[in-house]
Amino acid sequence: MKTIAERIREGMELRNLKQADLVEKTGISKGALSSYISGRYEPKQNNIYLIAKALSVNEAWLMGVDVPMEKIETNNNKRGITINVLGRVAAGIPIEAVENIIDTEEITEELARTGKFFGLRIQGDSMEPDIHNGDTVIVRQQDDAESDEIVIALVNGNDGVCKRLKKYENSIALVSINANYEPLYFTNKEITDKPVRIIGKVIELRRKL
């Protein structure tokens, strides 16, 4: 069996994609992708799914199994799973995260198998130009993420924010894409005392015209 790193490099060459293209298509940080491509680390299942989708290849093939590279679509893969879109979460000044259901979205069965998901409606402009006021983000429930990934975090226990996570040795920062907003820095002690808690990673963006 070939390694995942070898298969990623092979897939990138076949699809004529550079690392920057894969970062854009998957949302995985440049540092994490570099570690996968070099073979220093192997991606977790959710990132394997994202890379396979970006390269349009079979997940099993990407993991090194001797199967056809091309993904065969089935009717099962085309069926959608309905998830709830919860109340608004601030992408600017933190506001209380309201957990009422305001809408629904569909995700594929294939994606649904990688974890538990919910949607969140964004309010504010601090993540522009990437995420706009009124957009819905699809979030995988998880209590940690890699540096540079976009997360939903609860500050003071109930203030929900959509930010880019930056990890440091003794602290973290929740960073807006919009340069008009200052980063929110928290020491390890503040993370525990406030508390500051990651509740999910943003996987997809849904925008209605």
Give the residue numbers marked as catalytic.
126, 163
193: amino acid identity, one letter: D
**Contact by Cβ (8 Å): 89, 122:** yes
**Contact by Cβ (8 Å): 163, 153:** yes
What is the tally of helices (H) and strands (E) in the chain? Answer: 8, 10
Q: Is the dihedral of CA 160, 161, 167, 170 positive or negative?
A: negative
DSSP state at residue 69: S
